């Protein structure tokens, strides 16, 4: 869409008065639209690449979990062992206190 105004000029017969000339004003608006009709399979290829990347990331997480799993098991068993030792020591303390009485 295009719009245009007229140039305005004002000339007065007054001494020492310069004529006024306002410039022509012009405005224009545009609208652009893009729509892909055929992309040569690029969109499908990008989706396939993203799918493969996701699977690779999932495998990397699985590998990291396999590395950490033995450490988790070791800590869990260590806590169980410490709990058993505390129970044995508590029984020993109780036994000593009974002998004192």
Has residue 29 been placed in a domain? no
Has residue 59 been placed in a domain? yes
pLDDT at residue 65 in the model: 92
The whole domain housing 64 covers 42-101
Has residue 17 been placed in a domain? no
Task: Assign residue 53 a region (left: φ > 0; alpha: ψ between -120 and 50; beta: otherwise).
Answer: alpha
This prediction's pTM: 0.44
pLDDT at residue 78 in the model: 94
Has residue 100 been placed in a domain? yes
Has residue 90 been placed in a domain? yes
pLDDT at residue 6 in the model: 65
Q: Is 89 helix (H, G, I), strand (E, B) or coil?
A: helix
Has residue 70 been placed in a domain? yes
Looking up tokens 């020993």, which residue turns up?
92
Number of domains in the chain: 1
Has residue 1 been placed in a domain? no
- Locate 52 and state its tokens: 């493969």
Has residue 5 been placed in a domain? no
Q: What are 23-62's pLDDT values in tens digits? A: 667 777 888 888 888 888 888 899 999 999 999 999 999 9
């Amino acid at each position: 869409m295009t719009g245009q105004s007229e140039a305005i000029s004002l000339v007065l017969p007054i001494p020492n008065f310069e004529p006024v000339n306002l410039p022509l004003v012009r405005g224009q608006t545009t609208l652009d639209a893009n729509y892909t009709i055929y992309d040569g399979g690029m969109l499908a290829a990008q989706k396939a690449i993203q799918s493969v990347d996701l699977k690779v990331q999932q495998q990397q997480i699985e590998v990291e979990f396999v590395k950490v799993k033995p450490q988790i098991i070791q800590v869990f068993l260590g806590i169980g062992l410490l709990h058993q030792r505390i129970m044995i020591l508590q029984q020993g303390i109780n036994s000593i206190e009974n002998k004192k009485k």
